[in-house]
Structure 1
Amino acid sequence: MELRHLRYFVTIAEEQNFRRAATMLHVSQSPLSRQMKDLEEEMGVALFAPEGRGIKLTAAGKAFAERARSILASVDTAVDEAKGIAEGRLGTVVIGFETGTTFMGAFLSLVAAFRRRTPRVGLQLVPMSSLEQWTALRQGTITFGYGAYAPSDDALGHLEMSHDRLGLLLSLEHRLARPKKIRLRDIESERVLLQPRQLYPRLHADIITAARTQGVTLHVTAEVLDLEALLALVVIGDAITFLTEKYWEPASQASLLWRPVEDLHIHLSEFVTWRAEDADAPVVRALIESAREVSPILQGAADRTRSSKAAQRKRRSTR
């Protein structure tokens, strides 16, 4: 018994007429009748009984028709799901992201843009460091990564999403909230909290090196994994921390103040990462296109290009 036999049988059952069913199926009536006879012989039951110029289903035929419809619907669903996954319309995408990026930068915009493109694809967001993301990408356990570092591995593609200045985050009541300018030497006596070194190794090194260059030794009292816990300690004035300028608005809503440090010249970027060999896969391509759509850097470049072209047209029109 083949699937086409089920499809033929269901069509005949619905039409209750071999001639009309043959027309709908685009087959000859004689071979269709012969295949239904073969089906009945294979099953050992009569599925049809003559009725006037047509046929009707026997009790066995009615029961079989119900089951056949269910089987065909399941097969059609399975085929649609397989095609949807192959085309990037269905399935589940696992995105690794660094903690602290979910409510800053372009991460949420990226997820929202991807959701608009692929509304039926499931999303699973897994917190992990950039190093962990790269390993997971190579192993195929995640589809996409979002973090603070760009991979140097040619097997991984990446796109820079943001580039922001690092500054000081402190309580509105902190003594350093009042001076017009802050330098690294002003921070030397302060309790400094940072996120774990294993998550942001280059950031730790850059901050410590920048301070030492100015003859300053920072008093890093703790490394706090949970960003909310870190911010809570800063809010109550127990310590200060370093974050990028883009944190200004959400921080100000949480009784925090972002201030630039005059002699701290560190910028942080955020990157999306994927396995290079998967770049043409529909779901990965949708993620990359979503990233390009929301990247502040690429948007800024596009705005500058449009402005330049507009200026060129204006100059030509005034000649």
Structure 2
Amino acid sequence: MELRHLRYFVTIAEEQSFRRAAERLHVSQSPLSRQMKDLEEEMGVELFEPEGRGIKLTAAGKAFTERARSILASVDAAVDEAKGVAEGRLGTVVIGFETGTTFMGALLSLVAAFRRRTPRVGLQLVPMSSVEQWAALRQGTIAFGYGAYAPSDDALGHLEMARDRLGLLLSPEHRLARFKKVWLRDLESERVLLQPRQLYPRLHADILTTARAQGVTLHVTAEVLDLEALLALVVIGDAVTFLSEKFWELASQTSLLWRPVEDLHLNLSEVVTWRAEDDGAPVVRALIECAREVSPLLQHAADRARSPKVAQRKRNKR
């Protein structure tokens, strides 16, 4: 028994006429009658009986009609679902994200834009560091990543969405709080807290290497995984830490202060990452387009390009 036999049968049942069913199906009446006869022989029951110039369903035929309709509806739904997944309209996408960036970064804007574009696609957000995201992308356990660093792997594509200056976070009671500007040499005798090296290796390396280049040795007294715990230790004046200016807006609810470190010159980025081989996948393509749409960095570049002064300078160069 084939699906087309079920479709033929349901059409005949609805039309109660082989002739009208053949016209509706765009097939010849004789082969249609023969296929229904084969179906009855295969099932071992009679599905139709004559009635005037047409036909009517037997009791077995009526029962089979409902089952056949249900089977065809299930098949159609399965086909639609498969097409929806292939076209990026259905399914679930798993996104890895850097902890501590959820509310102050562009992630929420990205998720909202993606939800508007693909309302029937489920989203699962999994907290993980950039390094963990890259491994998960290679293994195929996530489809998209959102973190603080760009990968140096050609197998992974990436887009920098935002960039924010890294500075010093400290308590209002700290001795450096009275200064509007801070230099790395001012931190040489301070207790410095950082988030774990294994999760943020580049941040550690960048901060410590920059300090050493200025002849300063920073004393990292602890690595604290939980951002709230890190902020709490800074609040009580136990130590200082580094945080981007944007994230300080969240921390400012705890009365903490943020100061630029004049000779640090480091930025914390917001980067989305995906497998390069998935560039053409509908869901990944939609996420990339949404990231471009809400990226503060790209929006700023677009605003500058539209600026009359910038346009005039470009014309003058020509």
TM-score where L is the length of structure 1: 0.90
After alignment, is 18-27 or 192-201 more displaced?
Answer: 18-27
- Other-structure match for 1:192: 192
In 1, distance between residues paired with 2:14 and 2:292?
51
User: How far 1:303 moved relative to its partner?
Assistant: 0.8
- Other-structure match for 1:154: 154
User: How far 1:146 moved relative to its partner?
Assistant: 1.7
CA contact (8 A) 1:98 1:130 kept: yes
User: How far 1:310 moved relative to its partner?
Assistant: 8.3
CA contact (8 A) 1:247 1:258 kept: no
- Other-structure match for 2:56: 56
Counterpart amino acid of residue 218 in structure 2: L
1:4-46 deviations in whole A, cap 9, x for unaligned?
Answer: 1101111222222323222222222222222111111110001
After TM superposition, the structure 1 = structure 2 runs for residues 2-41 of structure 1, keeping only pairs within 5 Å, are: 2-41=2-41
- Is the alpha carbon distance of 1:239 and 1:53 closer, same or farther for their aligned partners in structure 2, counting shifts above 3 Å? farther
- Other-structure match for 1:42: 42
1:110-168 deviations in whole A, cap 9, x for unaligned?
Answer: 22222222211122222222222222222222211222222222222111111211011
After alignment, is 259-268 or 181-190 more displaced?
Answer: 181-190
User: How far 1:71 moved relative to its partner?
Assistant: 0.8
In 2, distance between residues paired with 1:174 and 1:53?
99
In 2, distance between residues paired with 1:69 and 1:236?
70
Structure 1 residue runs of 5 or longer lacking an equivalent are none
Counterpart amino acid of residue 250 in structure 1: L
After TM superposition, the structure 1 = structure 2 runs for residues 229-308 of structure 1, keeping only pairs within 5 Å, are: 229-308=229-308
Structure 2 residue runs of 5 or longer lacking an equivalent are none
Q: What is the percentage of aligned positions where both structures have the same residue?
A: 88
**Does residue 88 of structure 1 match 2:88?**
yes
**Does residue 113 of structure 1 match 2:113?**
yes
TM-score where L is the length of structure 2: 0.90
In 1, distance between residues paired with 2:36 and 2:236?
81
User: How far 1:309 moved relative to its partner?
Assistant: 8.1
User: How far 1:279 moved relative to its partner?
Assistant: 0.7
Aligned partner of residue 307 in structure 2, secondary structure: helix
Aligned partner of residue 102 in structure 2, secondary structure: coil
Aligned partner of residue 241 in structure 2, secondary structure: strand
In 2, distance between residues paired with 1:174 and 1:10?
81
1:81-137 deviations in whole A, cap 9, x for unaligned?
Answer: 111111111122122222222223212212222222221112222222222222222
CA contact (8 A) 1:133 1:145 kept: yes
Aligned length: 315
